[in-house]
Structure formats: C-alpha cells, structure tokens
C-alpha cells in the first residue's frame, strides 16, 4: 500500500511539472505587425495616403515614409498630398519597438482623372444658323489642361463629334443635347450630359425690293425666305382700296387723283409655326396734270 502511494505522488509531480514559458517565447508573440492596409488603393496627387496597421507591441508602431527613395520628415500613418506628385514612388516602413517590421509599397502615384462640375449649351435659345458651344466648369486633381470631347445629339440621334455644332445643322423645333467627356491627355473622366434645348423658330424674311408704279398700275412680286423651310403665307394688312394679292403678286390699279397722295402699305409674312415679319412702304402718286 505504501509503494502505491509513493508511485502516485511521483506520477502527479511529473505530470504537473514541465518547462515554464521562457521570456524569449513570450516575446515571439509581441513586437510584430499582424496586418496592414493602405487607403486609397490607387492614390492620386490629390489623395492623402493613409496606412492602417494592427500590431502586437507594448508601444504604438511608428512610421517612416520615403518618396523616390528620399526619406520624408514625417512619422505619422498619414502622408499629406504636399509630399508627393503624380508619378512618384512611395514606400511606408512600419517600425515596432524601433525595429522595421513591414515595408508597404511600392505605391505609385497615379494620374487623377478630370471631372466636370457643371456643363451647359450656349446660347440657350438658338435659331437656325446659330453655332452651339459648350460652357463647362472642370476639375483636374493634377492641375492639367482639360480638353472637352463633345458628342452632339439632335432629336436623339448622334450627329457630330466636335467642340462646335454648326448652326446649319439645326432648324426650328429640333431638340438638342450634348454628351461631354473631360480629357487631360492621359485619362478620360466620366462623361456628363447637358440638358435639352429646343431650337427656336426664325420668322420669314422679305427679299423683294420696293415696288414701283408704271402709269397707274402696280405689280409687286413678293419674294420671301424661311430658313427653317416652313410654309409662308403673305397677307395684306393695310393698303388702298382695290389692292389685292394675286398669288405672290400684290397688284393695284390706281385711280385718277385730284391731288398728290401718299398711300401706306403694310404686308405680313407668317410661317406655319407662327413666326411673323411685317414689311411696310409708302407709294407716292401725283395727280394727272391736264395739258
């Protein structure tokens, strides 16, 4: 019985013994970087670079930044934009307990895409023959010159890619908009669409010279033009008795006059969209002097 008790005691002593963790083993679990992230993943010259680090250490990690292999005077996890430019190569060295634990990089500073802040077509109420242009406010993170690439649409159909839409391509009633893309000669930004505008009607115009009277007869052939191609109707608004239209001719047989007289004539040309132009002139007639 005594032998069994001694054996059991020795067994328990051996089982509960063993080596204690050394100070060296304990240090292996600390003083190291567990994970790290960089934000943004694709930085530009207008994007501060931030490093997020998870580390096992008694003190917070410190940071060393290099730009094009030149160490910078900053030890924070955020590198401001004043330290780098487009095309630079950046590294971030993470130190734990003053020992380098992780090197993050290379981080290549990319070109920043331009963007459109506002855009519109000018003028806002064009007519047939009016050239259309784009007025836009743009932003480029690298301060590059930005070109506007413009696609013009008339009545929902793409018409031309040009900075200007020539006025001879539009007519009254057309609905026009443009799709504008900023380009800095490296990258294209997101395209942006302008608002719609409607081409305004242009009233018809008179092309005929003023009429004259031969004897007592007047035949005035009236010629008009409508740049939108609308149908034009001519009307007599004011004139002497007996003056009428015969087709596009204004005809009149003047009466015998007792005295010199002046007759005021007004005619109007009206297109099918309601555009109207008035033309007026005076006819002077002398009384017949009997011999």
Per-residue pLDDT of 242-281, as tens digits, reads 999 998 999 999 888 778 889 999 999 999 999 999 999 9
In contact, 111 and 184? CB cutoff 8 Å: yes
Query: Under CATH, which number does the domain 31-108 receive?
Result: 2.60.40
Percent of the chain with pLDDT over 90: 68
What's the pLDDT at 19?
43
CB 115 within 8 A of CB 144: no
Distance CA 184, CA 241 (A): 71
Under the banding of pLDDT at 50, 70 and 90, the label for residue 288 is low
Q: Which CATH architecture has domain 205-285?
A: Sandwich (2.60)
- Range scoring the smallest mean pLDDT among 68-72, 177-181, 280-284: 280-284
What pLDDT score was predicted for residue 29? 53
The per-residue pLDDT for range 44-92, each reduced to its tens digit, is 988 899 999 988 877 889 999 999 999 999 999 999 999 999 999 999 9
The CATH classification number of 115-198 equals 2.60.40
| pLDDT given at position 25 | 44
- Tokens 């006819």 found at: 283
Residue 232 near residue 267, CB atoms below 8 Å: no
pLDDT at residue 259 in the model: 85
- Residue 177 CB-density burial (10 A; 0-12 exposed, 13-18 middle, 19+ buried): middle
Position 289 scores a pLDDT of 55
Q: Is the pLDDT of residue 8 over 50?
A: no
pLDDT band at residue 290 under the 50/70/90 scheme:
low
Q: Is 31 exposed, middle or buried (0-12, 13-18, 19+ CB in 10 A)?
A: middle
Nearest one of 40, 49, 180, 184 to 112, comparing CA atoms: 184
Q: What is the predicted pLDDT for the residue at 74?
A: 94
Q: Collapse the DSSP code of 152 into the 3-class scheme (helix H, G, I; strand E, B; otherwise coil) and give the result.
A: strand
How far, in Å, are 73, 78, 101 from residue 63 at the CA level?
A: 10, 9, 10
Residue 135 has pLDDT above 70, yes or no: yes
On whether the CB atoms of residues 204 and 230 are closer than 8 A, the answer is yes
Asked whether residue 14 carries a pLDDT value surpassing 50, the answer given is: no
């Amino acid at each position: 019985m005594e032998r069994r008790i001694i054996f059991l005691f020795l067994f328990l002593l051996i089982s509960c013994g063993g080596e204690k963790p050394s100070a060296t083993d304990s240090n292996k679990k600390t003083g190291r970087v567990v994970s790290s992230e960089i934000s943004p993943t694709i930085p530009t010259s207008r994007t501060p670079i931030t490093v997020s680090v998870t580390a096992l250490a008694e003190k917070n990690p410190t940071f060393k930044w290099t730009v094009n292999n030149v160490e910078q005077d900053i030890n924070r996890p955020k590198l401001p934009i004043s330290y780098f430019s487009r095309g630079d190569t950046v590294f971030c060295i993470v130190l734990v307990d003053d020992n380098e634990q992780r090197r993050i990089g290379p981080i290549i500073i990319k070109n920043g895409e331009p963007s459109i802040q506002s855009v519109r077509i000018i003028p806002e109420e064009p007519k047939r023959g009016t050239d259309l242009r784009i007025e836009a406010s743009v932003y480029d993170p690298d301060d590059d010159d930005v070109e506007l690439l413009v696609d013009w649409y008339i009545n929902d159909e793409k018409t031309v890619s040009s900075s200007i839409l020539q006025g001879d391509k539009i007519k009254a009633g057309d609905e026009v908009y443009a799709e504008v893309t900023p380009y800095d000669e490296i990258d294209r930004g997101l395209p942006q669409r302008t608002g719609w505008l409607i081409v305004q009607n242009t009233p018809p115009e008179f092309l005929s010279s003023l009429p004259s009277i031969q004897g007592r007869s007047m035949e005035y052939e009236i010629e008009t033009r409508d740049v939108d191609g609308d149908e034009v109707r001519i009307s007599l608004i004011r004139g002497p008795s007996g003056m009428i239209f015969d087709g596009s001719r204004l005809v009149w047989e003047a009466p015998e006059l007792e005295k010199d007289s002046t007759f005021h004539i007004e005619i109007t040309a009206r297109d099918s969209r309601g555009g109207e132009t008035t033309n007026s002139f005076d006819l002077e007639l002398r009384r017949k002097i009997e011999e």
